[in-house]
Amino acid sequence: MRLPVRCLEIACADRSRSEMERIGVDPAGARIMAPKQLHYNLKVEGLTPAQANILKQDILSIGGEAAVARGVASCSVERTDAIVSGTMAHFLALFEKLARQAFGLPEIAASMKEAIKGMDQRTYVVKGGAESFTIGPSTLIMGILNVTPDSFSDGGAFVDRGKAAARGLEMAEEGARWIDVGGESTRPGAKPICAEDELKRVLPVVEALSKAGLTVSIDTTKAAVAKAALEAGASIINDVSALTADDAMADVAAASGAPVILMHRRGTPETMQLDTRYADLMGEVYGWLHGRVEFAVSRGIDRDSIIVDPGLGFGKSMEGNLEILGRLKEFKSLGRPVLVGASRKSFIGRITGGADAGQRLSGTLAASVAAVMNGASILRVHDVKEAKDAALVADAIVNHR
């Protein structure tokens, strides 16, 4: 007779200890064994052969594993990535070993430690100049308010400032904690507009919503628009170019202390969907966001003021968007809250057959739940009430787990 055997999902130390308690393990023993049941695979990029050889020797000596390029032992390669695998117990021992090594390995150990910490983090304090925000463990809902005539999903619906302000207030009542006001379309193929036209669209709406007590983010790539919107009451900068479109944007963000959302995209709205091929999608998107975070910090932006967004639909194919959603938790290694904007996007329509953006609600909710289950802290959505309900259920599952 076969005995029942199942694979346990050990996602945290609390789950490990509770499972051991169920079979009567001594509590002291459970505390010792819990770190041995949490397994991690860390990819460390750009190591020298000396660093890689020492790292591999140290992790192997304590029972872990490390995969490096074939030429590392002979030093026939200049650089190598490494995939380091082990339990939490292995990594705790490894960090102690690396702290005594040369070749910059103590700093590498610190980065590895931060990556593991980020993977397990559910609550963040995001620093702001006028206001700081606690994000998590419940998902934050960010309502999309496009005051543009050519938005892909609701083009022209909220060009009138009165209608736009009313929609912002409605989204807040439905559960949006932030309202994201944008005056320039970033849909595929969209052409840029000048700062003056963008300001005419967004400033009256930002002023109205902020005076009503709502938290407003300004969706712009232009430093002049961001600065004026902040002065009009906005609290957050959402820059889909991650500070690359306007070099002055970093100075505006640093001077204001406002939280800044850094999103990955390749190209501009006019060009980003012309080539969606990547040799290593996750590696390139993660590495680019890591670089933008470090750039922002170098320009005086507080690391704790940064939010990251992998940029679904911005220079990605349908398959690429799905890969990012499935592997979203890897972005938590950056140590910052992850924002996901899947709402009504075309890849959802390709899957469900919803040719029009308005027909993609159910698909959007499925993608949103997947995002929350895989580590998203913020959902940027058009349909606030429905997304809020879906996130409440996903949060209940994640937090219970």
The more confident residue out of 393 and 399 is 393
Which pTM was predicted? Answer: 0.92
Q: Residue 56: is its pLDDT beyond 90? A: yes
Per-residue model confidence (pLDDT) at position 159: 64
Query: Do residue 179 and residue 321 come from a single domain?
Result: yes
* Nearest CA among 140, 395, 83 for reference residue 261: 140
CATH number, position 316: 3.20.20.20
Tell me: pLDDT of 272 over 80.
Answer: no
Asked whether residue 131 falls in the same domain as residue 116, the answer is no
Last residue of a domain, one of 120, 136, 164: 120
Tens digits of residue pLDDT in 279-328: 999 999 999 999 999 999 999 999 999 999 999 999 999 999 999 999 99
Residue 79 and residue 104 share a domain: yes
Same domain, 28 and 2: yes
What does the pLDDT read at residue 151?
57
Last residue of a domain, one of 86, 120, 154: 120
- d(C-alpha 149, C-alpha 156), whole Å: 4
**Percent of all residues in the chain with a pLDDT value above 90, rounded to a whole number:** 81
Q: Are residues 66 and 115 in the same domain?
A: yes
Q: Are residues 156 and 100 in the same domain?
A: no
- As annotated, the active-site residues are 345, 380
pLDDT tens figures, 274-289: 888 999 999 999 999 9
Model confidence band, residue 153 (pLDDT cutoffs 50, 70, 90): low
State yes or no: cis peptide before 106, omega within 30 of 0. Answer: no
Assess whether 214 and 288 both reside in one domain. Answer: yes
| CATH code assigned at 77 | 3.30.1370
**What is the count of structural domains for the chain?**
3
**Pair 85, 190 in one domain:** no
Does the pLDDT at position 259 exceed 80? yes
Residues 168 and 68 grouped into a single domain: no
Range of the domain at 253: 124-400
Same domain (yes/no): 234, 307: yes
State whether 49 and 108 are in the same domain. yes
| Boundary residue ending a domain (95, 120, 145) | 120
- Say yes or no: 33 and 177 in one domain: no
* Rounded CA separation 138/342 (Å): 18
pLDDT digits (tens, 9 = 90+) for 337-368: 999 999 999 999 999 997 788 889 999 999 99
